[in-house]
Structure 1
Amino acid sequence: MDTSSPAQLRDASAARLPPPPPTAWRRMRLWAVAHAVDDLYQGLVPAAVPYFVLDRHYGYLAASGLTLAATLGSSVPQPLIGLAVDRYRPSWPAGVGVLVAGIGLGLSGLLPGYPAVWCLVLLSGLGVAMFHPAAGRAAREAAGDSAGAMSLFAAGGSVGFFLAPALATPALIAWGTGATVLFVPPAVLVGHLLLRHQRRRPATGGAAVPRTGRDRWGPFAVLTGVEVVRSVAFFGLNTFVELYWLRDLHASRTLAGTALTCFLAGGVAGTLLGGRLADRIGAVRTVQLGGALALPSLALLLLAPGSLVPLCFAATTGITLNLPFAVLVKLGQDYLPTRPGTAAGVTLGLAVSIGGLFAPLLGLVADTHGPRGVLLTLCAVPPLALALGLFLPDPARPTAPSDTPNG
């Protein structure tokens, strides 16, 4: 006869239960933090551009060329790196990529010649290109099918962009462009943590998403178009919103840096909100909603009076532009279930960064019409993103025979 007390029976029953599953944050925290540090170096480029203009007397076209260098390095190689990550699953690109991104950008402010600065910014972009496909694949394995969990990883990148002006503006005001060297240590620390983590992690570890079904290249191409269009608006605002406050609103450097910080803080909030919305109303509807709300936000930014009231609309524009960000990353991997690294390389890397390729064109607009002319030009972008978003199918829809087969 069992004489165990009720408390003992409860303890024994509890001991037999499996441990609770880790929370989304516990699963994603390393990759979210690493993404924040990696994209810090992308965010430092537009944060530092006004100080290259003011301190080194670069023209708008030369300043836009720095954005172009970061974009070329970070966008062009990413699809090839994504293919290699899917095929060989190497453990080192994410960690080494953070190191290269940080060292290249950190040294760029120390050298006086424009060609040397341009090459170091290009090298930093190559580091970013190494990070995203491997990190995106590993993050999706940790996130499973949760858009909310994946939004934590994507929001890490938005946090990096947000922290860049918040951290860089005071340092650049105080010490000039040479202050970029202060941002090398985070890359060294995070690169070391990632390399150690990946060495300890089994090659097949993680809660991998089942890699079955057909790769749907048609919907993925449309999704890539949405991301490219969104990134044009994001990079344009990221590059010229400070200059808009400085040159058109005649605000101080501090207030101009605050404007960029508000825009990027809104981006963090929008990325997290987009993941939550996608889990409730669906990924495709969330992408379409972001496209529909971005134009009114940008228009209000331009119409608001003074230099303080527009700060609110800088934040709302960041929110609406970034509602689709994490959703597009997950949706791309849903459309290419057998190639998550390639999908991440395109949606996190190529399509996001390619917006910077338009920076020289926007620089020409700024040379002629000023930063306000750039923002007016960008008002044409959100309607195009919405139009493309209307052609995105639900990833749960059965695959059509015309879609590309697995492999």
Structure 2
Amino acid sequence: MRDELDRRAMATLSGGHMAVDFASGSVPALLPFFTLKFDLSYTATAVLMLAVLVSSSLVQPFFGLWSDRRGAMWLLPGGVALAGLATGLAASAPTYPLVAGLVFVAGIGIAAYHPEGAKFAAFASGRKRASGMSYFNIGGNTGYALGPIVVTPLVLWLGLGGGTLAMIPVLVMATVLLRSLSALRGVAPAAAGAQRAADGRDDVRAMTLLTIVIAFRSVAWFGLLTFVPLWVVANGGTEGEGGRELSLMLVSGAIGTLVLGPVADRIGLRRTLVVTQAALPFLIVVFVAVGGAVGTFALMLVGLSCVGTFGVTMVLSQLYLPRHVGMASGLSIGLAMGLGGIAAVLLGVVADIIDLETALYLAAAAPAIGCVFSIFLPRPHTVGAPHAEPAAPAIV
């Protein structure tokens, strides 16, 4: 096992993660404009989020299985290119069904990148797995945060065609990844190391519990991604102000990624997860009920607590399924979060039938349930961690 993180490889992988999640993060930023253009209900707006989530999340385990069995490095540049191209076309699409279809295609590109990228990030991380995965995730979380920061003003200035223009850097990064594939192959473990990793034992029960925890966390997360801008507008704000609130939540999430990774290495993966899950319900209630500067600060802490633990759950999933690292990444990034995204559509139904405030309070309840399940997560076996057996991260 390498002692130090391979910074060059991680920078490339994190850059690809930034690009693909910039495309992903642009979708919720575009939702208020799609709502205005097509006169959409809350449910119809949430369906657009569902379209990208179903394809970007629920199919990720299949890409992960493909990666584990055959290796598929071409998914790195291919996934980024498809995500950027389809999102850019969706921004300028003339009809609602075409928008839904294109964001679905964009989601397939997003799904293609993540398991392969996470697997190679694990190879390049060195001994401090949570910190290393945080470096990988900071790219994705920064990209997701930049989505509304860049897209909202561009669309306000140029119309929805500005969303198309914003995807050009994504396509540039796809080209960079294509030219970097030979260098990235150097971080893969040697055959003997891979065989030792395969000697680890998959813990399906633990992975099931972790999937439930992530799913409940993502109910709150995707509910907020979908409805924070609309909540601001419903309370007298503008689309630009709604995009600003969303951006603050996402930027705080990117900061949380850097903060909570080292914290998890020091105090333990499970302990970090339980504490942050327990904080989320309170913080969401403060955002909805109090509002103002206090509510905005609470929303920023939601981003820090929620997004900051993406890397923690990814490392746990790889430790629970050491024989199937790509599959583990697909499950933790994809399937569990996709299930939460489906629930976000149900929150849209609640918002239409009752009101948006009730839907947001229901979103606050979800991580409280997830916190209960997180308490029962077992200590993972460390033998199967990619690249080696000793000196795994703290897992208390």
TM-score, normalised to structure 2, is 0.90
Give the superposition deviation at 1:332.
0.4
Q: CA–CA distance in 2 between the matches of 1:23 and 1:94?
A: 20
Report the number of matched residues.
378
CA contact (8 A) 1:95 1:191 kept: yes
Q: 1:175 aligns with which of 158, 162, 166?
A: 158
C-alpha RMSD of matched pairs (Å): 2.1
Moved more, 46-55 or 390-399: 390-399
Matching of residue 242 in structure 1 with residue 229 in structure 2: yes
Residue deviations 1:139-173 (CA, integer Å, cap 9, x gap): 11001342111111122221111111111110121
**8 Å contact from structure 2 (residues 9, 187) kept in 1:** no
Change (3 A) 1:254 1:301: same
Q: Secondary structure at the match of 2:159?
A: helix
CA shift for structure 1 position 354:
2.9
- Contact kept, 8 Å, 2:280 with 2:306, in 1: the verdict is yes
What does residue 287 of structure 2 align with?
Answer: 301
Residue of structure 2 equivalent to 1:277: 263
Q: Is the Cα contact below 8 Å between 1:25 and 1:152 reproduced in 2?
A: no
Offset at 1:183?
2.5
Whether the 8 Å CA contact 2:277–2:305 is kept in 1: the answer is yes
| 1:71 and 1:353 in contact (8 A); partners too | yes
8 Å Cα contact 2:347/2:363 also seen in 1: no
Q: 1:110 aligns with which of 76, 80, 92?
A: 92
From 394, 403, 407, the equivalent of 2:379 is 394
Amino acid at match of 2:301: T
Q: Deviations along 1:262-308, whole A, 9 cap, x unmatched?
A: 11112112222221111101111111111111112112112224x34
Q: Which amino acid aligns with 2:281?
A: L
Is 1:188 paired with 2:171? yes
* Aligned-partner SS, 2:376: coil
Structure 1 88/398 Cα, relative in aligned 2: closer, same or farther at 3 Å? closer
- 1:24 is displaced (CA, Å) by 6.1
Deviation at residue 203 of structure 1 after TM alignment = 6.9
Distance in 2, matches of 1:145 and 1:21, equals 6
Mapped pair 1:40 → 2:40: no
C-alpha separation in 1, matches of 2:9 and 2:23: 24
How many angstroms apart in 1 are the aligned matches of 2:161 and 2:282? 38
In structure 2, the CA distance between the partners of 1:23 and 1:344, relative to structure 1 (3 Å rule), is closer
Larger radius of gyration: 1
Identify if the C-alpha distance between structure 1 residues 190 and 127 changes in structure 2 by more than 3 Å, giving closer, same or farther.
Answer: same
In structure 2, C-alpha distance between the alignment counterparts of 1:365 and 1:145, rounded to whole Å: 46
Report Cα offsets for 1:323-371 as digits up to 9, x if no partner: 3210000110011111111111111222223322123211111213333
Displacement of 1:73:
1.1
- Equivalent residue, structure 2, for 1:374: 359
Q: TM-score, normalised by structure 1?
A: 0.88
The 5-angstrom pairing of residues 2-401 of structure 1 reads 25-146=7-128, 147-202=130-185, 205=188, 211=197, 212-247=199-234, 249-305=235-291, 307-396=292-381
| Preserved CA contact (<8 Å) 1:332 1:343 | yes
* Structure 2 unmatched ranges of 5 or more: 385-396
Rate the CA distance shift 1:101–1:215 in 2: closer, same or farther, 3 A: same
Q: After alignment, is 360-369 or 219-228 more displaced?
A: 360-369
Whole-angstrom CA distance in 2 between matches of 1:341 and 1:152: 18
- Preserved contact between residue 287 and residue 323 of structure 1 (Cα < 8 Å): no
Work out the percentage of aligned pairs sharing the same amino acid. Answer: 34
- Deviation string, structure 1 residues 240-271 (Cα, Å, up to 9, x no partner): 01111110x21222221111111111211222
CA 1:81–1:262: 2 relative to 1, 3 Å: same
Distance 2:154 2:272 in 1: 37
Tell me which amino acid in the other structure corresponds to 2:168. P
3-state DSSP of counterpart to 2:262: helix
